[in-house]
Amino acid sequence: MKVCLVTGGAGFIGSHLCEALLNKGHYVICVDNFFTGRKKNILHLMDNKNFEVIRHDIIDELLIECDWIFNFACPASPVHYQYNAIKTIKTSVLGALNMLGLAKRVKARIMQASTSEVYGDPTVHPQKESYWGNVNPIGIRSCYDEGKRVAETLFMDYHRQNKVDIKIIRIFNTYGPRMLENDGRVVSNFIVQALKGEDITVYGEGKQTRSFCYVDDLINGIIKMMEVDNFTGPVNLGNPDEFEIIELAKIVIEMTNSKSKIVYKELPADDPKQRRPDITLAKEKLGWEPKVKLREGLKKTIEYFENELKNHSS
């Protein structure tokens, strides 16, 4: 049994991770400031004797004993991370420094939830870990992209300089139950709009691409990465099936039998034109690849939002 600290543990991915770690027999300390996380996401874990929650902001120091640290605290939706850009940078940079300091002190293994955004608007396709990226340092996405890039640098420097046992995963667009209804990210936006019969808001012409990974697949990859020895990463974790955003809109409309119409809105600045992970390294080092096809994952996510919307109206 490992004592696991999960920062951002009340968020979308973090809550699934806490659950999976508990199911594997580990002890889990969930740390969250509840900016985009919710008590509701972890309510079902509260009675578990191996689970505890601390309301804490990782830009401040935390003193705790643990074996594994999963540093997942950071808003991930462009709407949320741009809401307070300076706070987002502080979370990524000061948060990484605090968590790395903790890992160094207690000799814990520590994982950073990095992102495909470190590749920016990529000029290499699909994206391999060896690609350094094409990131605007002064744009509206920079608080997130550059924050995550600095965090990766800090992780590598703590590893080289202080022998901290680090892991870096680069997560590509992940979706599933427990995303916020007003999250702003494309999968939750389209599903909620379709279920409410509202217009589906496609930004730009919808020709930009993303590759969507169902959350259960991602969680398996995260745990495999944490368990493996002698491999720091960075490693891409994502689903290599690539879709245009307009295709996603049509699939969601079809699967929800919605009468919603597609409307086209302005494309936000620096929106990456294409994104698909090369997962050769994850396959080789972790024996991992995603199993859940888009329609299968969307079905589960649609069911989740149907229930959420029903509960609101009752």
Whether the CB-CB separation of 296 and 214 falls below 8 Å is answered with yes
Among 28, 42, 53, 58, indicate the residue that binds ligand NAD (CB under 6 A).
Answer: 58
Residue 188 as a binder of ligand NAD (CB under 6 A): the answer is no
Closest C-alpha among 6, 9, 236 to residue 111 = 6
Residue 129 as a binder of ligand NAD (CB under 6 A): the answer is no
Scored b (16 or more CB within 10 A) or e, 234-255 reads: bbbbbbbebbbbbebbbebbeb
d(CA 160, CA 150): 15
59 binds, options ligand NAD, ligand UDP, none, Cβ within 5 to 8 A by partner type: ligand NAD
Identify which range of 33-41, 123-131, 200-208, 294-302 contacts ligand NAD by CB under 6 A: 33-41
Identify which range of 13-21, 50-58, 157-165, 198-206 contacts ligand UDP by CB under 6 A: 198-206
Whether the CB-CB separation of 114 and 169 falls below 8 Å is answered with yes
HEC string for 184-240:
CCHHHHHHHHHHHCCCEEEECCCCCEEECEEHHHHHHHHHHHHHCCCCCCCEEECCC
d(CA 20, CA 26): 9
Among 78, 120, 176, 233, indicate the residue that binds ligand UDP (CB under 6 A).
Answer: 78
Where in 8-135 does DSSP place strands (E)? 27-32, 51-55, 68-71, 109-115
Among 19, 57, 121, 145, indicate the residue that binds ligand NAD (CB under 6 A).
Answer: 57
Where in 95-147 does DSSP place strands (E)? 109-115
Residue 135 as a binder of ligand UDP (CB under 6 A): the answer is no
Whether the CB-CB separation of 201 and 241 falls below 8 Å is answered with no
Q: x/- site string to ligand NAD, residues 70 to 109, per CB under 6 A?
A: --xxxxx--------------x---x--------------
| In the complex, minimum distance from the CB of residue 238 to ligand UDP, in angstroms, rounded to a whole number | 11
- The question of whether 144 is a catalytic residue gets the answer yes
Residue 35 as a binder of ligand NAD (CB under 6 A): the answer is yes
Residue 189 as a binder of ligand UDP (CB under 6 A): the answer is yes
Question: Which residues of the chain form contacts with ligand UDP (CB under 6 A)?
Answer: 77-78, 173, 185-186, 189, 201-203, 208, 210, 245, 268, 271
User: What residues are annotated to the active site?
Assistant: 144
Question: Which residues of the chain form contacts with ligand NAD (CB under 6 A)?
Answer: 7-8, 10-14, 32-37, 57-59, 72-76, 91, 95, 113, 115, 171, 173-174
